[in-house]
Amino acid sequence: MIRKELPFSRIAIAGRRHTPDLFGPISTLASLLSDRGFQVSLEYETAEMTQISGYTVHSAETLGVNHDLVIVIGGDGTMLSFARRLAPFRVPIVGINRGRFGFLTDIPQTFMEVMVSDIVDGRFLEEKRVMISATVSRDTEAMLTEIHAVNEIVIGRNSCGQIADFSISINDAYAYSLRADAIIVTTPTGSTAYALSAGGPIIAPGLPAFAIVPVAPYGLTHRPIVLPNTIDVQITVERGHDVSLHGDSHMRVALQEGEKVVLKRSPYHMYLLHPERYDYFSMLRQKLQWPELPDRLSKEIDLDSSSVSDS
């Protein structure tokens, strides 16, 4: 949807870690917003890295308490890191691309000033993305840990581990077992990340679904499965050493044989703000380099259309 009111007054800027040339864009953006009358803050590590002074500094953990909007300059990994922290506070996030693909950071740095100005003026599209939660437990013990992820939960062996055996249940009903290097349970947002490279489907962001995608399964019949995100998926590590759970490729929890991971829709969401001309499939076409119609074919289609209309 497009909002016409101006809901922002306190805006934070955060940058990708260990990026030495962020001083220029962050300084430019901070000055632009400050001159427009917004209360501008810098994330602590960003301020320390760039040595930009004159602005309030907040830790990444407190950005959601103190701000109405967070602008991230970096790649998708940086966006995911801040999105997880901001999700409990329902604070929207804007991404300016300094990474490689930029599925989430959809504003090119060259258009940063124009597009950010439009967004803070109320000309934007707001998108609410579902997240996934994972809880780890044993039959004889209560819940051991819980994490929330934007992209995916991956359960599998580490680099030195052997192939693992898993059993999968849907809503407490046994479904099937498989041997594989890993299992990915992905959200629509994560369907263009690790799951895509493992042969999973692309899931449109608004679709209320998750996908279970096996990684290098020991059996040719195992294929990705798309499920409604209203159900619970239980994955048990039946056999395997050096197996871990990973959330968004960042959070890691070591798993033992017999431990069960329950995956379900998280109560949190990621709130993204896009330029008002943003189109998901146009973005996919650019990032994945899908071919467009050749000029000759386009002309042939135009001629055919003209013939039909003339008749």
Active site residues: 76
Pair 246, 127: CB distance under 8 Å: no
- What is the Cα gyration radius of the chain? 22
Nearest to 86 by CA among 269, 273, 275: 269
CA dist 252 to 10, 63, 76, 192, 208, Å? Answer: 33, 24, 19, 21, 26
How many helices (H) and strands (E) in the chain?
8, 18
From the list 46, 50, 110, the residue with the least C-alpha distance to 81 is 46
Q: Exposure pattern of 262-287 as b/e (b: 16+ CB <10 Å)?
A: bbbbbebbbbbbbbeebeeeebeeee
Return the number of other C-beta atoms located less than 10 Å from residue 112's C-beta.
19
Helices 112-120 and 23-35 pack at an angle, to 10 degrees, of: 30
* SS3 state at 110: helix
| Region for 29 from its dihedrals, namely left if φ exceeds 0, alpha if ψ lies in -120 to 50, beta otherwise | alpha
Q: Which two tokens stand for residue 101?
A: 């693909």
Which amino acid, one-letter code, is at 82? F
